[in-house]
Amino acid sequence: MRIVKLHILLIIVLLSQALMADEDISFTGIAKQTVEIGERFQVVYEVNAEGRNFISPSFGNLQVLSGPNTSTSSSVQYINGNMTQSYTMTYTFVVQAVQEGDVTISPASVTVNGKKYNSNPVKIKVVKSSAAQQGTNRSSDQSGSSEGVLQDDDVYIKAFLDNNSPYLGEQIIITYKIYTKVPITNLGMQKSPSYPGFWSKNLMEDNSKFRQSTQVINGEEYIVADIAKYALFPQKSGELTIESVEMECNAQLRVQSSKRRSNDPFESFFNDPFFNRNVKNVKTTLTSKPIKINVKPLPQQGKPESFKGAVGEFTFKSEIDKKDLSANDALTLNVSISGRGNIELITSPEIHFPSDFETYEPKIKSNIQSSLSGISGSKIFEYLAIPRASGDFKIDPVKFSYFNPKEAKYYSFSSGELQVSVEKGDSNSGGITYSSSAQEDIRFIGRDIHHIKTGSFELKEKGRFLFASATYYIVIVLPVLLLILIVLWWKRQEKRKSNVGLMKTRKANKIARERLKKAEKLKKANDEKAFYDEIAQALWGYIADKFNIKKSNLSIDKVKESLQAKNVAVEVIDSFINTLNNIDFARFAPGDSGGKMENVYNEAIDAIMQAEKQLK
């Protein structure tokens, strides 16, 4: 009974600690209770734990100028030998009161340890400004302030398509341009382009700067920049829709100061627009219009049998490296296709070699270039064949066809019939071809049906027994030797397991691969923070396990020193360190978050693979 009572007491203590842990989580909203019209102030939300999935509240008649701006703070205190630790995450909004009256900001929400918490509603009273209450007989330069308002035509994005009626598989270019009359900052993609029914390729992924120009529209000058460009290849005919994209940016608007100009030269100096006192940032969302296009099917009239879907403008070339060779020697047939169009989607042409040739899957070499004008390049298909019998053989013509959308016409190429002469080789005895008058061919190419064996055979004497023979003693001794080897192997494995450092070194690559798999799932779920944390753990953990270093002692210099001690190549060390630096940089760099995560993920895989090759 006493043991049962102890168990019940322990359960009660654990439950109470869990309940206290939940009760310790506080999420509160704080702001000034009374503000004036035109006044800018902060609305702050604080949670005493690490929060995720913060959902902003509704601010009613208040205008949001910026936010949420996230910050964290932590502290550790020692009092009478006891340690206390606190952690606070803050979400800050800068808002402006624009209308007199009572405003209630609805509760915000945040998730902590998988549980959702709501803040308190924040009530604010907006009153007339003190300048307005002093009278209305003041001149216009002394009464209130004239705040700038962002108009719809101040900044917007627009999509342009170079062909609204392409053929199936034809390359078309879509360009997204931004038009702005005001300065903008922090331009980032909110809704990435989606092209259902198309195969797409980004043509500006290597461009770090936007190409800018000026353009006069309706008598006003705009700065115009290409912000995105894609090559699209429709994969089905009929009406298709290119969906809209969404981007966010901060527009900088000039506002007039409500304060009377002072005679103090120092105050006049710091009120100068150079110090951004007369500029406000307005966060805005830009959305392009969806585009509908009509994709025409490829014509059936004049369509060659060798047509496999190539659309564009291409050239064709084929060559064989040797026409005279010996049996069991290899020959190579190269087929080269180059040009502009859906070159990446072109499959290998079918080549019919004689039945006496052993063939392999073609090796494909691609040289694809992406430029602002579209996709072009070349593909080389390298076929390897080995004749197993001597004689004169013919290889059927290699054929290739494509459709030219500009001329609405099919074109075909043919290499012509290829003649190959094969002489009997030194190793041809293992590849003889047999024929019978019953029209049944039996071919032996080293692993097919064997011909009937002729010649002398080894005969055994009648009356020979297994007992007391050499085979008998081998069968008796072999299990004993096998048991001894198993015991030795087992002891060796136990010794290795006892060496923790050695086991961590051997499993470093495996653990890193598991973390990279988890990071890939987070990338697909677009959980950016968790993704970068997992990628960083994979790289730092790999070095810590590989060199048996405590994670608390890890640093960039320690990584470099450890790799240099193992004579790792300089370029591999630099690549590993650059990847670690790029992870922190990518967290805060503006732009397409999905593209950044994809680049960082590929760099991390390459860094670990190169390091593993050098350390083996």
* pLDDT recorded at residue 507: 66
Residue 101 sits in the same domain as residue 212: no
Domain CATH for 375: 2.60.40.740
pLDDT band at 24 (very low <50, low <70, confident <90, very high): confident
Q: DSSP readout, 266-289? A: HHHHHTSGGGTTTEEEEEEEEEPP
**Looking at the predicted structure, is the pLDDT value of residue 175 above 50?**
yes
Rounded to 5 degrees, what are φ and ψ at 494? -65, -35
* pLDDT recorded at residue 379: 92
Alpha carbon distance 609, 405 (integer Å): 44
Last residue of a domain, one of 407, 423, 439: 423
Last residue of a domain, one of 114, 130, 146: 130
Alpha carbon distance 182, 250 (integer Å): 10
Residues in contact with 611: Cβ distance below 8 Å, sequence separation at least 6, in sequence order? 542, 546, 563, 568, 572, 576
Residue 415 sits in the same domain as residue 360: yes
> Considering its fold, how many domains does the chain have in total?
4
Residue 277 sits in the same domain as residue 352: no
Residues spanned by the domain of 570: 500-615
pLDDT band at 454 (very low <50, low <70, confident <90, very high): low
> CA angle at residue 334 from 332 to 336, to 5 degrees?
175
Q: In what helix (H) or strand (E) does residue 479 lie, and over which residues does it extend? A: helix 470-498
Residue 318 sits in the same domain as residue 291: no
Range in 368-382, 496-510, 549-563 with the lowest mean pLDDT:
496-510
* Residue 10 covered by a domain: no
pLDDT band at 107 (very low <50, low <70, confident <90, very high): very high
* Residue 529 covered by a domain: yes
Residue 248 sits in the same domain as residue 214: yes
* Residue 476 covered by a domain: no
Last residue of a domain, one of 384, 406, 423: 423
* pLDDT recorded at residue 259: 46
What is the pairing mode between strands 307-320 and 399-404?
parallel
* Residue 227 covered by a domain: yes
**Looking at the predicted structure, is the pLDDT value of residue 70 above 70?**
yes
Residue 331 sits in the same domain as residue 278: no
* Residue 541 covered by a domain: yes
Residue 380 sits in the same domain as residue 318: yes
Residue 349 sits in the same domain as residue 240: no
Determine the straight-line distance between the first and last CA of the chain, rounded to whole angstroms: 60
* pLDDT recorded at residue 221: 85
Residues in contact with 190: Cβ distance below 8 Å, sequence separation at least 6, in sequence order? 246, 247, 248, 285
Higher-confidence residue of 452 and 245: namely: 245
* Residue 581 covered by a domain: yes
**Looking at the predicted structure, is the pLDDT value of residue 234 above 90?**
yes
* Residue 380 covered by a domain: yes
Residue 285 sits in the same domain as residue 404: no
Distance of CA 24 to the CA centre of its chain: 38
Q: Which of 155, 150, 145, 180 is nearest to 253 (CA)?
A: 150
* pLDDT recorded at residue 152: 80
Q: Which of 61, 327, 307, 296 is nearest to 168 (CA)?
A: 296
Higher-confidence residue of 568 and 17: namely: 568
Residue 281 sits in the same domain as residue 330: no
**Looking at the predicted structure, is the pLDDT value of residue 434 above 60?**
no
Residues in contact with 18: Cβ distance below 8 Å, sequence separation at least 6, in sequence order? none
Residue 551 sits in the same domain as residue 591: yes
**Looking at the predicted structure, is the pLDDT value of residue 39 above 90?**
no
Residue 417 sits in the same domain as residue 352: yes
Q: Is the pTM value of this prediction over 0.85?
A: no
Domain CATH for 70: 2.60.40.10
What is the pairing mode between strands 324-326 and 331-341?
unpaired
* Residue 378 covered by a domain: yes
